[in-house]
Amino acid sequence: MYRHGDLLIKNITEFPNTRLVKSWVENNEVILLRGEATGHAHKLKGDFTLFRDKDNTHYFEVHTKAYLSHEEHKRIDLPAGKYTMIRQREYTPKGIEYVRD
């Protein structure tokens, strides 16, 4: 697994039931997450297909190669494979919330 700021990219073997949200094309690019205060974005670029499940969790399959980019974090290259994206979270007495930046 890879940590890219407040995102964890985890290698998985199979996708759960998902629906396609973006078709694969060469030189694909998508914003996985954008900071609400900073406006900075975690972007996924390369040859991949993006999926999303009913809970809005993102999954993607890298067909050949892809990489993560962000204004303040170094590039992370991802080899071919299936991945899921996990957002960092925080505890509050009222419940669990995603980390916001």
Residues that bind other proteins (CB under 8 A): 1-6, 8, 10, 35-40, 71-76, 86, 88-93, 97, 99-101
Q: Are strands 95-98 and 28-34 parallel, antiparallel or unpaired?
A: unpaired
**Calpha distance 37→16 (Å, rounded):** 32
Reduce the DSSP state of residue 9 to 3 states and report it: strand
Q: Closest approach of Cβ 64 to other proteins, in Å? A: 19
List of residues 6+ apart from 6 with CB closer than 8 A: 33, 87, 88, 99, 101
Q: Toward other proteins, which CB reaches closer, 3 or 20?
A: 3
Nearest distance in Å: CB 36, other proteins: 6
> 12 or 25, CB closer to other proteins?
12
What minimum distance in Å lies between the beta carbon of 88 and other proteins? 5
13 vs 91, beta carbon nearer other proteins: 91
Alpha carbon distance 97, 101 (integer Å): 12
